[in-house]
A and B are shown apart, each in its own frame.
Chain A
Amino acid sequence: MASNAAPDTHAKPPLRESFAVQGRVVGALLIREVITRYGRHNIGFLWLFVEPMLFTLGVTALWTATKNLHGSDLPIAAFALTGYSTVLLWRNMPGRTIGAIKANSALLYHRNIKPLDIYLARVLLEAGGATISFIVLGVVFIAIEWIEPPEDILVVTAGWLMLAWFGAALAIALGTLSYLSELVDKFWHPFSYLMFPLSGAAFLVSALPVSFQEIVLLFPMVHGVEFIREGFFGSKIIAIYDLSYLLVFNLVLSVFALLFTRYVSRRVVPG
């Protein structure tokens, strides 16, 4: 045996090949997910971003009607767009990854499909939906002159990507943990609702009392939201954020997410 050791297909192939396989698999899973979730009926996959759009529009209408106090003289539409869209961004991704492996464990019979691929496909899909919804609504609001165009679109993009990264890392970490314990699913829903008012979606940090600001700034997504608002309305508001805090948080969370994924991948039973 040992003398004529043969190449081992169960061993790792070269990195570039691995990326090609992973890209292919994630792509296939993504398309499969779109068809399974949205089907071919009525508007089909347009629901991907119509659904978050309806959420944001609903919240905009609600806040307008209740004259929501957010601590600035920005138009409420602008506030809802930059605030609620980000909540959808980081909240929907974990919603889709929790329980994803159990629901799709049969797919793991195909050796190239790994738990991480299933997570990536779902995370990309959710992030895509929230992003398209954000862009479409933004363009529409600007076109009908409810809001001004963003002052620095690059800052908005960077803030958005940082929050998407946060959501993705959180989603994969929670997804893997939910495979290990059902409690994750039970706790996530109340937790995500409670986080909404603290996430910076409904207020400007500068409008809060200083003592409260310190607490709120412990939540990483607040920094992302503030940064996006900086890009949108920079000259009209005072945005308070520390991007490096969010960056470090994202990095640490990502490392844990990948470690958990590795742990689960080695233990998951297909079928």
Chain B
Amino acid sequence: MITIENLHKTYPTRFGEKEVLSDVNFELRKGEKLGILGRNGAGKSTLIRLISGAEFPTKGRVRADMSVSWPLAFGGAFQENLTGVDNVRFISRIYAQDFESNLAFVEEFSELGAYLREEVRTYSSGMRARLAFAISMITEFDCFLIDEISAVGDARFHDRCNYELFEKRNDRAMVIVSHDPSYISDHCDRFAILNDGRMTFYSDFDEAYGLFRNTMGLAQANAPEKREIPKSRKQLIEYTHTAAMRDELFQATVFEADIKGKAKEWERAEALYREALERQPYQRSYWVQVAHMAKEAGYIVRAESAYRTACALGEPLAEVEMFVEDLMQRQNLDPTDFPIQAYIAAAAFKQPPANPDIELLCDLCWGNARFSDDETCDAMRHVVCLDELLSKIIADPRFEAAHKDWLGHYVKGEAPTAPLPEPIDPQGAQASVSSRNLVSVLALSDRAGVQAAMATELDASDDRWALVQSWGGFGDWPQTVQALKQFKNEPAAVG
């Protein structure tokens, strides 16, 4: 058993002391497998190091009557100019073990062949991972500490690691930290959330993960996105993958969606992917996931428009073509009548629209009204570019209904104009996802400070359409300008 009593860990920082762990208590019995969830920097790795005995707590203690491994598959201790064999020899010496039999095991398990006699500096990261894992397995422990192991090597090697660890050593205790929650849910029987230095324990993974996402959502709500706003919709689409990778809440939501998808809970999975996409609406790969889930759940129209969205955002057509064709045939439509529109790297108004644009522009033009699923899908089939989309939204009675006052002024040629706002510090600005994305789509300024000010003003405004128009927004979108002029030609229609 491992007993953690009243464990505290404080690190000195330039801004004073930071308490990473505060009063952590738990017991780990033989054979128990504990999975720890926590945000980046929550102290998961610190806890692992404290349990391993490699680091000392500031207060409290770790008692163990079983042998505890070093953090597994950890390759950092490899010396670059030692060979694989040297590293095996070193570990064998440190743990007083028979070098020859260890070497035989590592040779067999790592499948590195002659490379084992080469310097580690020549290894690829996959080869390092294999050597690290094989070396981790040469010493037997009662308790294994596993810190981020799931990203290791190819699928076949991953399976062999899992067999070695979770089948052959199933009787051992384990503490697992991973960014991949499915790894934790697959292998653990107890779960803990580490947040603000405190640990809370759960026996049910779904409960633990739901709460974990909540704590993360709360934390991110308090500290929203502060990076610079992309200059254009093109840049937005190019950056969004990286932004999504860095967005912990996005990743966590997507992971949960993946788990639901594997469990064939299609509707829940679709809803979770959509929830994630609300944070990063232009992330095309997850629109494919939304589409897959909707298709499985039987929502054919929604699936089709999600697939088309992915392509409009740059997903290669070949990846989704067969799915769209199948869906259209199910609706008794000829796929060749409505070819999928591919992404073009051009000014926003020339780009083919995607679901998030429909959402964004309806929100701007109609207030609370929205396209139905059928309308959305229809637009995805017919509308060629964002300019056309916006002109249709404007021509729709729902626009007139939402902007009577502004249209009144506009028809008289008295719509207010205003210069773009003064720049503010882009790092200090906080704005909603939709305002940020709208600023990118408008592409009215190249200056990060001005863009940040625009997004902040949009958030504060109660008539965003009027504000955008006062800046001269959409002035270079020909069809949109034309659609607005229609109101001047038919003044009777207004009021």
Using a CB–CB distance below 8 Å, which chain A residues touch chain B?
1, 6-10, 24-25, 27-28, 31-32, 35-36, 39, 106-113, 265-271
- Return chain A residues, CB-CB under 8 Å to B165: none
B interface residues, tally (CB under 8 Å): 35
The reply to whether A111 and B82 form a contact with Cβ atoms under 8 Å apart is no
Contact pick for A9, options B68, B77, B95, CB 8 Å: B68
Interface string of B55-83 (1 = CB under 8 A from A): 11000011111111011001011010110
Q: List 22 A-B contacts (CB under 8 A).
A: A8-B63, A8-B64, A8-B65, A9-B68, A10-B53, A10-B63, A24-B93, A25-B93, A28-B94, A32-B79, A32-B90, A36-B82, A107-B77, A109-B77, A110-B54, A110-B77, A110-B94, A111-B68, A112-B94, A113-B94, A267-B56, A271-B49
The reply to whether A1 and B3 form a contact with Cβ atoms under 8 Å apart is yes
Q: Is B320 an interface residue (CB 8 A)?
A: no
The reply to whether B77 and A106 form a contact with Cβ atoms under 8 Å apart is yes
Q: Is B395 an interface residue (CB 8 A)?
A: no
Q: Is B325 an interface residue (CB 8 A)?
A: no
| Cα–Cα, bound, A172→B230 (Å) | 53
The reply to whether B65 and A7 form a contact with Cβ atoms under 8 Å apart is yes
- Return chain A residues, CB-CB under 8 Å to B79: 32, 36
A24-B96, A268-B55 known; A32 and B86 CB under 8 Å?
Answer: yes
- Return chain A residues, CB-CB under 8 Å to B317: none
Whole-angstrom distance between the Cβ of A268 and the nearest chain B Cβ = 7
The reply to whether A10 and B76 form a contact with Cβ atoms under 8 Å apart is no
Q: Is B52 an interface residue (CB 8 A)?
A: yes
A109-B76, A110-B77 known; A6 and B1 CB under 8 Å?
Answer: yes
11 other A-B residue contacts (CB within 8 Å) besides A8-B64, A111-B68, A111-B70: A1-B3, A10-B53, A10-B64, A32-B90, A36-B82, A106-B74, A107-B77, A109-B71, A110-B91, A270-B49, A271-B76
Contact pick for B81, options A10, A39, A106, CB 8 Å: A39
| Cα–Cα, bound, A190→B95 (Å) | 41
- Return chain A residues, CB-CB under 8 Å to B62: 10
The reply to whether B54 and A108 form a contact with Cβ atoms under 8 Å apart is yes
- Return chain B residues, CB-CB under 8 Å to A27: 93
- Return chain A residues, CB-CB under 8 Å to B63: 6, 8, 10
Whole-angstrom distance between the Cβ of A252 and the nearest chain B Cβ = 27
A1-B3, A25-B94, A36-B79 known; A109 and B74 CB under 8 Å?
Answer: yes
Contact pick for B82, options A1, A35, A107, CB 8 Å: A35
Whole-angstrom distance between the Cβ of A244 and the nearest chain B Cβ = 38
Interface string of B1-29 (1 = CB under 8 A from A): 10100000001000000000000000100
| Cα–Cα, bound, A59→B61 (Å) | 55
The reply to whether B53 and A269 form a contact with Cβ atoms under 8 Å apart is no
The reply to whether B66 and A266 form a contact with Cβ atoms under 8 Å apart is no
Using a CB–CB distance below 8 Å, which chain B residues touch chain A?
1, 3, 11, 27, 45, 49, 52-56, 61-68, 70-71, 74, 76-77, 79, 81-82, 86, 89-91, 93-96
Contact pick for A111, options B53, B66, B89, CB 8 Å: B53
Closest to A112 in B: B94
- Return chain A residues, CB-CB under 8 Å to B76: 106, 109, 271
- Return chain B residues, CB-CB under 8 Å to A110: 54, 70, 77, 91, 94-95
Chain A to chain B: the 9 pairs with minimum beta-carbon distance, closest first = A6-B65, A28-B93, A106-B76, A106-B77, A111-B53, A270-B54, A109-B70, A266-B56, A109-B54
Whole-angstrom distance between the Cβ of B94 and the nearest chain A Cβ = 5
A27-B93, A35-B86 known; A9 and B54 CB under 8 Å?
Answer: no
| Cα–Cα, bound, A10→B63 (Å) | 6
Whole-angstrom distance between the Cβ of B53 and the nearest chain A Cβ = 4
A36-B81, A109-B77, A266-B56 known; A9 and B93 CB under 8 Å?
Answer: no
| Cα–Cα, bound, A214→B317 (Å) | 88
Closest to A32 in B: B90
- Return chain A residues, CB-CB under 8 Å to B67: 9
- Return chain B residues, CB-CB under 8 Å to A271: 45, 49, 76
Closest to B92 in A: A28
| Cα–Cα, bound, A159→B381 (Å) | 92
| Cα–Cα, bound, A112→B139 (Å) | 14
- Return chain A residues, CB-CB under 8 Å to B95: 110, 112
The reply to whether B55 and A269 form a contact with Cβ atoms under 8 Å apart is yes
| Cα–Cα, bound, A138→B348 (Å) | 82
- Return chain A residues, CB-CB under 8 Å to B86: 32, 35
| Cα–Cα, bound, A15→B67 (Å) | 19
| Cα–Cα, bound, A27→B55 (Å) | 23
- Return chain A residues, CB-CB under 8 Å to B89: 31
Whole-angstrom distance between the Cβ of A226 and the nearest chain B Cβ = 41
The reply to whether A9 and B65 form a contact with Cβ atoms under 8 Å apart is yes
Closest to A27 in B: B93
- Return chain B residues, CB-CB under 8 Å to A28: 90, 93-94
- Return chain A residues, CB-CB under 8 Å to B64: 8-10
| Cα–Cα, bound, A36→B45 (Å) | 28
Whole-angstrom distance between the Cβ of A6 and the nearest chain B Cβ = 3
- Return chain A residues, CB-CB under 8 Å to B81: 35-36, 39
- Return chain A residues, CB-CB under 8 Å to B3: 1
| Cα–Cα, bound, A36→B78 (Å) | 11
- Return chain A residues, CB-CB under 8 Å to B55: 108, 268-270
- Return chain B residues, CB-CB under 8 Å to A112: 94-95
- Return chain B residues, CB-CB under 8 Å to A107: 77
| Cα–Cα, bound, A8→B86 (Å) | 32
| Cα–Cα, bound, A108→B70 (Å) | 9
Whole-angstrom distance between the Cβ of B218 and the nearest chain A Cβ = 29
Whole-angstrom distance between the Cβ of B271 and the nearest chain A Cβ = 39
| Cα–Cα, bound, A174→B281 (Å) | 55
Whole-angstrom distance between the Cβ of A84 and the nearest chain B Cβ = 30
| Cα–Cα, bound, A243→B64 (Å) | 48
| Cα–Cα, bound, A219→B45 (Å) | 46
The reply to whether B54 and A111 form a contact with Cβ atoms under 8 Å apart is yes
Whole-angstrom distance between the Cβ of A261 and the nearest chain B Cβ = 14
- Return chain B residues, CB-CB under 8 Å to A39: 81
- Return chain A residues, CB-CB under 8 Å to B66: 9
- Return chain B residues, CB-CB under 8 Å to A270: 49, 54-55
The reply to whether A269 and B68 form a contact with Cβ atoms under 8 Å apart is no
Whole-angstrom distance between the Cβ of A25 and the nearest chain B Cβ = 6
Contact pick for B52, options A106, A111, A267, CB 8 Å: A111
Closest to B75 in A: A106
| Cα–Cα, bound, A211→B81 (Å) | 53
| Cα–Cα, bound, A108→B1 (Å) | 23
| Cα–Cα, bound, A108→B45 (Å) | 14
Closest to B5 in A: A1
Whole-angstrom distance between the Cβ of A214 and the nearest chain B Cβ = 43
| Cα–Cα, bound, A266→B77 (Å) | 20
Closest to A271 in B: B76
| Cα–Cα, bound, A267→B10 (Å) | 10
